[in-house]
Amino acid sequence: MTELLELSAARAAELVRAGEVSAGELFALYRDRARADELNAFLWVADETPDPPAADAPLGGVPLAVKDLFCVEGVPSMAASRILEGYRPPYTATAVERLVSAGAPVLGKTNMDEFAMGSSNENSGFGPVRNPWDRDRVPGGSSGGSAAAVAAGLAPWAIGTDTGGSIRQPASLCGIVGMKPTYGAVSRYGMIAFASSLDQCGPLTRDVTDAALLLKHMVGRDRCDSTSLEFPEPIELPTEERLDGVRFGVPPELTGEGVEAGVREVFDRTVALVEELGGTVEEIALPHSPHGIAAYYVLAPAEASANLARYDGVRYGPRARNGDLLSLYEETRANGFGAEVKRRIMLGTYALSSGYYEAYYGRAQRVRTKIADDFRNAFQRVDLVLTPTSPTVAFKLGERVHDPLAMYLSDYCTVPMPLAGIPAISIPGGLSEGLPVGIQVAGPAFSENRILTAAFALEQAIGFERRPFDDV
Amino acid sequence: MSGELSTILDHIEKIGELDLEGVAPTSHVIEVENVLRPDEPRPSIPRERALEQAPDTVEGGFRVPSPGT
């Protein structure tokens, strides 16, 4: 059994297809581990064993942990919010549907910050998730349950969503791989909306090959999401171990001030590795990136305030049952939404209100243009941009709960990419004070294959030793 | 809550420092063209199924208390 647990998802899929490993045994192993979860990573675990995968199913029956933000037919899908407690959707999100059809059955639903709003998982309506590296620390967020589950070997792989860093930052804090694809690469249908112009779903995995394999079966146009696009080329599994001729840009704006010393050290070592592997490194300028957080905290709450208007106790979820219609709305929301969600709805409605719209929303949209232009200029000279993923290692539970701005700044290095719509990956670069440090590689729109190839080469050279899985 | 919101708004005010004269706003970040498709009806989730999760229903619809006067 232990041997099965050690297999990467891609390798396990291969062995199932070769008839050397039973998909049923694999599912049972992870179901038992997920059920014994002490990290609060799972909100629901499957009890029925799925039918064996088709003989040629590319994902070989390797079970998938799914962030609670995705609708899965008949399965609790609550965005970790009390306002959707007990909700079981009548349909399944396209991304999940595609992965299930490719042979990855749903293992369980993972905990997260409520409606994906947060960077520590402490905003879940169902309690915080603990980081397997140090249970007194946060796993990051908002896809903290998915990241912790993969890092602790409770799931072979997982999917999450990223609006300002919600895949990459928890991947960084938990020492795993997480990728946010190009905006539109993966359908958002059935993914509970937070900020629709930024939200993208992507893989959280043990290694880069697993991320490529999962992403390969997620991308593509979907008639149910008009912003989804046909991916211009198939996603390939990376094999190249050198970086000869690959030009990396390092922006001082995202690598200097605010990045703690231990993170900077791991980052500098990675830069040296790039050169050893035959790549080149030069300084590039992303002058508007320091304004990313400010622009993001106008745009994302503004979009969220519109998207979350539907949770009013009329169509789904628990309903407060006193008095007239207005008090039904008010009480349902007062009881159902957590503090951070309320904060963002207030920020968003304020930013969109008459008289303030141009000063906030209008300006933030223009900052977004400047941030995207900065990247366009950089990619004239370099192929990829290299930064730390998170300015710090995993912080202590409770440390930033009462300081929302400090919490928001956790996404300082990851926010510019979704604002520009471009893809980026986080891979483990090493340890600082015994905790994982993530390295971020970003590229132009639709450069997923280029990013995965470079991340794979770096991964081989770094040789990160993941945390040994606990027995359960 | 109000203290926290003020701290956040103070940070957001930073975008006021930038010169954004003549910069076009971005609402959709990837360049795409509008795509049309034939308007063909296809099956949707049956009404009963869509109503299953509602806290209260009546005559094939969502039931709510009177909005008052």
Boundary (domain end) residue, out of A320, A344, A372: A372
Distance in Å, alpha carbon of A410 to nearest chain B alpha carbon? 14
Would you call B23 and A404 a contact, using CB atoms and an 8 Å cutoff?
no
Boundary (domain end) residue, out of A337, A356, A372: A372
Of the candidates A87, A183, A294, the beta carbon closest to that of B29 is on A183
Residues comprising chain B, all counted:
69
Q: Out of A124, A166, A172, A228, pick the active-site residue.
A: A166
Q: Domain check: are A118 and A37 in the same one?
A: yes
pTM, entire model: 0.97
Distance in Å, alpha carbon of A112 to nearest chain B alpha carbon? 22
Q: Out of A81, A119, A142, A289, pick the active-site residue.
A: A142
> Terminus-to-terminus CA distance in chain B, angstroms?
33
Task: Return the structure tokens found at A343.
Answer: 């904060």
Q: Domain check: are A36 and A161 in the same one?
A: yes
Q: Domain check: are A183 and A237 in the same one?
A: yes
Residue A470 counted as domain residue: no
Q: Domain check: are A146 and A228 in the same one?
A: yes
Q: Domain check: are A100 and A188 in the same one?
A: yes
Residue A392 counted as domain residue: yes
C-alpha A72/C-alpha A110 separation (Å) is 12
Q: Domain check: are A130 and A183 in the same one?
A: yes
Backbone angles phi, psi at A251, to 5 degrees: -85, 120
Is A216 among the residues known to form the active site? no
Residue of B nearest to A226 (CA): B35
Q: Domain check: are A145 and A42 in the same one?
A: yes
Q: Which helix (H) or strand (E) holds A297?
A: helix A292-307
Q: What is the dihedral of CA A28, A30, A35, A36, to 10 degrees?
A: 120
**Which site among A123, A224, A311, A314 would you substitute to test the B interface, given the most B Cβ atoms closer than 10 Å to its Cβ?**
A314
- pLDDT, tens digit only, all 472 positions of chain A: 559 999 999 999 999 999 999 999 999 999 999 999 999 999 999 998 999 999 999 999 999 999 999 999 999 999 999 999 999 999 999 999 999 999 999 999 999 999 999 999 999 999 999 999 999 999 999 999 999 999 999 999 999 999 999 999 999 999 999 999 999 999 999 999 999 999 999 999 999 999 999 999 999 999 999 999 999 999 999 999 999 999 999 999 999 989 999 999 999 999 999 999 999 999 999 999 999 999 999 999 999 999 999 999 999 999 998 789 999 999 999 999 999 999 999 999 999 999 999 999 999 999 999 999 999 999 999 999 999 999 999 999 999 999 999 999 999 999 999 999 999 999 999 999 999 999 999 999 999 999 999 999 999 999 999 999 999 8
Q: Which residue intervals of A102-254 are DSSP H helices?
A: 144-151, 168-174, 208-216
Q: Could you give the 3-state DSSP secondary structure of residue A387?
A: strand
ipTM above 0.85, yes or no: yes
**Which site among A72, A83, A183, A315 would you substitute to test the B interface, given the most B Cβ atoms closer than 10 Å to its Cβ?**
A315
Residue A472 counted as domain residue: no
Is A327 among the residues known to form the active site? no
| Number of domains chain A contains | 2
Contacts 24+ apart (CB under 8 A), B14-19: B14/A291, B14/A294, B15/A291, B15/A294, B15/A295, B15/A298, B15/A363, B15/A364, B15/A367, B16/A359, B16/A363, B18/A288, B18/A291, B18/A363, B18/A367, B18/A370
Of the candidates B30, B49, B62, the beta carbon closest to that of A445 is on B30
Q: Domain check: are A80 and A172 in the same one?
A: yes
Is A146 among the residues known to form the active site? no
| CATH number of the domain residue A153 falls in | 3.90.1300.10
Question: What is the extent of the structural domain holding A328?
Answer: 289-372
Q: Domain check: are A134 and A163 in the same one?
A: yes
Chain A CB within 8 Å of residue B26 CB: yes
Residue A401 counted as domain residue: yes
Boundary (domain end) residue, out of A307, A339, A372: A372
